Amino acid sequence: MGLFDKVERGLERAVNGAFAKAFRAEVQPVELASAIRRAMDDRAAVMGHGRTMVPNLYTIELSPTDFERLSTYEDALSEELVAAASEHADSQRYQPGGPVQVSFSEGADLETGVFRVRPATTRRSIAPSTQAPSRGPEPQPQTDLQQAPAHRPVTNPARRPWLTIDGERYPLIGALTVIGRDDGVDIILDDPGISRRHCEVRVTNDGPHLVTSIRDLGSTNGTYVNGERITSRRLDDGDQVTVGRTQATFRPGKR
């Protein structure tokens, strides 16, 4: 039996059990598992020496109707989806940025049966949405698909720049990476001195080269590069970025 068949069968058992009444013709657990796998594949970044980094937090935005129906079974479903995502990471030899976590939030603009998957990297534990619902950032315009991973890669992952934080690499996979404490940002840092949406790192193309810049998002304590408080600035190899009490080193990736 293949991996997908095993995951699908396990989730089908869940549907036939506690989830049968909750989902009916709405969002199906198997669809959520498939969307998480695709989001993981889309954000995979080859870091060399056989290491392929992927996000470890997957926030699923649901319509108000689906979110209400799901909340009763959230813990059990989260466990199933984490198991499915972890099996996929193992089968592809991916290295998540931390323990794999799946959380849920409500998207007021979504219709019943439509959802989004927002991948991010975090090393802290995310509280269940039944305790502290998080709507994340304002959704970006997109078509009403069954799933739409945010911040699609813009070039070969092997060439992407990254930030090193506490000895760990955080690849800058998308054209725009938001850093902060909010559960909906791309790099989540557990630092009380950091704003919920603290700063953003933008990667653009300048001919054959990638150009990386950082911009403060009106944070309370500011964003610093090499000790200087900035509003917006281009990043060069080895630059030290400080947000709150957290320091990061910028590396431009392969050229």
**C-alpha pair distances (Å), 37 with each of 84, 94, 255:** 8, 11, 29
Q: What is the pLDDT of residue 71?
A: 81
Burial of 236 (0-12, 13-18, 19+ CB in 10 A): exposed
Q: What is the pLDDT of residue 234?
A: 94
Q: What is the pLDDT of residue 137?
A: 39
Q: Which stretches of the chain drop beneath a pLDDT of 70?
A: 1-26, 48-50, 123-159, 207, 254-255
Do 121 and 188 meet the contact criterion of CB atoms below 8 Å apart? yes
Q: What is the pLDDT of residue 97?
A: 84
Q: What is the pLDDT of residue 110?
A: 85
Q: What is the pLDDT of residue 214?
A: 95
Kindly report each contact of residues 175-182 with a partner whose C-beta sits within 8 Å and lies 24 or more positions away, as own/partner: 175/151, 175/202, 175/203, 175/204, 176/151, 176/200, 176/201, 176/202, 176/203, 177/151, 177/201, 177/202, 177/203, 178/137, 178/217, 179/243, 180/217, 180/219, 182/134, 182/136, 182/137
**Which tokens in the block code for residue 96?**
């998540």
Question: Coil, helix or strand for 35?
Answer: helix
Question: Coil, helix or strand for 67?
Answer: helix
Q: What is the pLDDT of residue 183?
A: 82
- H or E stretch covering 95: strand 94-96
Q: What is the pLDDT of residue 144?
A: 30
- Rounded to 5°, angle at Cα 36 from 33 and 37: 90
Q: What is the pLDDT of residue 143?
A: 28
Do 56 and 107 meet the contact criterion of CB atoms below 8 Å apart? no
What is the percent of the chain where pLDDT is above 90?
Answer: 25
- Rounded to 5°, angle at Cα 139 from 67 and 117: 55
The span from the first CA to the last CA of the chain, in angstroms, equals: 42
- Predicted TM-score (pTM) above 0.85: no
